[in-house]
């Protein structure tokens, strides 16, 4: 049978106004519709009637959502092959103002896409929802003290290609939490978003991304945060604040920002292939069993990498909420194959807490520093194994106890500003150990044979991954 999808306008009845090609996920038993809405009431009716595979398109314009008359997405269930999509006629063509816009409940496989969101209330994906996709929207909610702009509490949500920008007050752009007070939403993916221009002058509480809270730190979130760009995010020293376990933070770019990547609470996260450029803070680590590999850090005003200290030794499920807020001294953390250039200090520790790192490894990193700087400043040395690090530059070695050589890495600067190994570099094939679970470098090139020291595996091929620019991310 030849299948068609009818484009309809929602009014008193459904009037056929045209015919479009059916989505690939439509079937003989489920004929998806593309429905055009021209008012908020038409949009509400179309959503209420939507089934798997339907696409509801709101005509371009500015719509003030009245108090108490939100845009409800309640009890809507698409499928993996046939999601329900609610979108603007064109990306950025619809602006929603008012107190509150979309309100989700008990829904799955639903996408909201292409809106400029200007509400005064948090946009929330609650725990009753799963597989919700928030895509290609522009978030500039009210600049209200303490208002979080997007809060994800449902499993397997995707937040992709949005722009979060322009606030000066306390509150996060994007938070991920979960049910109850001690668990996390599972499997959230945050990809290709642009976070910019947060100017909150406080010293805490203005994170662009916050994965969890101290009470949720032992919950395995399994979130993936990848290919996001952060620019001028100065609302908090933590641009990506991880307060849960089992997450992957990879291939993000943080540029000209106060915030860095901080594993503040939780265990078993992997920080890989990120570019941190010309900012104030690098990568800071607490908790156990983390992997920090293939990261490129250049011109960080503070330390490139901070291996923290603790006032708590291992958070446990039975801990009090107060204890959970403490800093867990790092155990079994691997910091390897990173390139750290022209930072205040390449690698440092902390002395303000009494519990030192234990059984940690700092190996095969490329550390280059400028005159008047120190490459390594580590108050606690007894719990760290050092090997294969390559140091260079006018900076002093500091108190690195061994496990390094001092040779010119022979770096060349690419058109993207990244300094990589040249063909004669002594870093090539010089790693002190093998890395079976590190198969590619920061550029996306394969790690072959014995790894090269630092984030770059020498290759004459063009990089597959480069520092991100606004053209790579966001709604368009």
Distance CA(330)–CA(349), nearest Å, equals 11
Rounded mean pLDDT, 182-198:
98
CA dihedral 144, 191, 94, 118 (to 10 degrees): 0
Distance CA(11)–CA(44), nearest Å, equals 11
Q: What is the pLDDT of residues 250-307, one digit of tens each?
A: 999 999 999 999 999 999 999 999 999 999 999 999 999 999 999 999 999 999 999 9
CB 470 within 8 A of CB 164: no
Q: Over 80: is that where the pLDDT of 364 sits?
A: yes
Q: What is the pLDDT of residues 434-455, one digit of tens each?
A: 999 999 999 999 999 999 999 9
Could you report how far apart the first and last alpha carbons of the chain are, in Å? 37
- Report pLDDT for 150: 98
Distance CA(306)–CA(296), nearest Å, equals 14
Q: Over 60: is that where the pLDDT of 11 sits?
A: no
Q: What domains are there in the chain, each with its CATH number?
A: 122-472 (2.160.20)
Q: Over 90: is that where the pLDDT of 13 sits?
A: no
- Report pLDDT for 31: 61
Q: By percentage, how much of the chain surpasses pLDDT 90?
A: 88
Residue partners of 223: CB distance under 8 A and separation at least 6: 176, 184, 187, 188, 189, 190, 211, 244, 247, 248
Residue partners of 197: CB distance under 8 A and separation at least 6: 165, 166, 167, 231, 232, 233
- Report pLDDT for 360: 98
- Report pLDDT for 125: 98
HEC string for the chain:
CCCCEEEEEECCCEEEEEEECCCCCCCCCCCCCEEEECCHHHHHHHHHHCCCCCEEEECCEEEEECCCCCEEEECCECCCCCCEEEEECCCCCEEEEECCCEEEECCEEEEEECEEECCCCCEEECCCCEEEEEECCEECCCCCCCCCCEEECCECCEEECCEEEEECCCCCCEEECCCCCCCCCCCCEEECCEEEEECCCCCCCCCCEEEECHHHCCCECCCEEECCEEEEECCCCEEEEEECECCEEECCEEECCCCEEEEEECCCCEEECCEEECCCCCEEECCECCEEECCEEECCCCEEEEECCECECCCCCCCCHHHHCCCECCECCEEECCEEECCCEEEECCCCCCECCECEEEECCEEEECCCCEEEECCCCCCEEEECEEEEECCEEECCCCCEEECCCCEEECCCCCEEECCCCCCCCCCCCCCCCCCECCCCCECCCCCCCCCCCCCCCCCCCCCCCHHHCCCC
Distance CA(375)–CA(398), nearest Å, equals 6
**Positive/negative CA dihedral, 11, 13, 15, 20:** positive
**Positive/negative CA dihedral, 82, 474, 177, 117:** negative
**Positive/negative CA dihedral, 397, 402, 407, 409:** negative
Distance CA(131)–CA(394), nearest Å, equals 52
Burial 137-147 (b: 16+ CB within 10 A, else e): bbbbbbeeeeb
Distance CA(364)–CA(453), nearest Å, equals 5
Distance CA(284)–CA(260), nearest Å, equals 8
Query: Nearest CA to 255 among 239, 269, 273?
Result: 239
Rounded mean pLDDT, 26-41:
76
Distance CA(191)–CA(136), nearest Å, equals 11
Q: What is the CA radius of gyration of the chain?
A: 24
Question: From residue 416, how far is each of 168, 233, 275, 301 by CA, in Å?
Answer: 31, 21, 12, 21
- Report pLDDT for 315: 86
Distance CA(455)–CA(256), nearest Å, equals 21
Least confident of 112-116, 229-233, 322-326, 339-343: 322-326
Distance CA(401)–CA(379), nearest Å, equals 11
How many other CB atoms are there within 10 angstroms of residue 355's CB atom? 20
Could you tell me the pLDDT band of residue 317, with boundaries at 50, 70 and 90? confident
Q: What is the pLDDT of residues 94-148, one digit of tens each?
A: 999 999 999 999 999 999 999 999 999 999 999 999 999 999 999 999 999 999 9
Q: What is the pLDDT of residues 230-244, one digit of tens each?
A: 999 999 999 999 999
Q: Over 50: is that where the pLDDT of 26 sits?
A: no
Q: What is the pTM of this model?
A: 0.93
């Amino acid at each position: 049978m030849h299948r068609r999808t009818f484009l309809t306008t929602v009014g008193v009845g459904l009037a056929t106004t045209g015919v479009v090609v059916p989505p690939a996920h439509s079937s003989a038993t489920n004929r998806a519709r593309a429905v055009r809405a021209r008012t908020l009431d038409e949009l509400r009716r179309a959503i209420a009637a939507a089934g798997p595979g339907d696409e509801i398109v709101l005509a371009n314009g500015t719509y003030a959502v009245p108090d108490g008359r939100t845009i409800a997405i309640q009890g809507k269930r698409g499928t993996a092959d046939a999601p329900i999509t609610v979108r603007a006629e064109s990306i950025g063509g619809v602006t929603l103002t008012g107190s509150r816009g979309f309100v989700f409940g008990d829904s799955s496989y639903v996408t909201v896409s292409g809106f400029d969101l200007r509400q005064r209330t948090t946009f929330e994906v609650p725990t009753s929802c799963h597989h919700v996709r928030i895509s290609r929207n522009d978030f500039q909610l009210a600049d209200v003290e303490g208002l979080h702009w997007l809060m994800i509490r449902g499993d397997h949500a995707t937040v992709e290609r949005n722009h979060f920008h322009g606030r000066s007050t306390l509150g996060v752009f994007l938070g991920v939490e979960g049910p109850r007070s001690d668990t996390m939403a599972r499997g959230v993916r945050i990809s290709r978003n642009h976070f910019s221009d947060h100017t909150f002058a406080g010293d805490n509480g203005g994170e662009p991304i916050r994965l969890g809270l101290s009470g949720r730190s032992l919950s395995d979130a399994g979130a993936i945060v990848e290919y996001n760009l952060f620019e001028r995010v100065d609302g908090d020293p933590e641009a990506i604040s991880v307060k849960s376990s089992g997450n992957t933070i990879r291939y993000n770019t943080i540029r000209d920002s106060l915030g860095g990547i901080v594993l503040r609470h939780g265990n078993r996260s992997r920080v890989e292939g990120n570019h941190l450029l010309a900012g104030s803070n690098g990568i800071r680590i607490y908790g156990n069993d983390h992997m920090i590999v293939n990261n490129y850090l250049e011109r960080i005003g503070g330390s490139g990498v901070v291996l923290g200290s603790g006032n708590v030794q291992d958070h446990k499920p039975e801990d009090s909420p107060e204890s959970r807020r403490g800093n867990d001294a790092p155990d079994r953390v691997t910091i390897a194959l990173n390139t750290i250039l022209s930072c205040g200090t390449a690698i440092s520790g902390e002395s303000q807490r009494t519990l030192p790192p234990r059984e940690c490894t700092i190996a095969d990193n490329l550390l280059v520093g400028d005159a008047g700087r120190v490459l390594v400043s580590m108050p606690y040395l007894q719990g760290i194994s050092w090997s294969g690090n390559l140091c260079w530059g006018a900076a002093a070695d500091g108190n690195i106890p061994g496990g390094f050589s001092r040779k010119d890495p022979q770096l060349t600067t690419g058109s993207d500003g990244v300094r990589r190994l040249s063909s004669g570099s002594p870093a090539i094939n010089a790693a002190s150990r093998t890395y079976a679970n590190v198969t590619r470098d920061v550029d996306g090139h394969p790690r072959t044979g014995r790894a090269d020291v630092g984030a770059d595996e020498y290759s004459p091929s063009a990089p597959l991954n480069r520092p991100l620019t606004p053209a790579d991310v966001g709604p368009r």
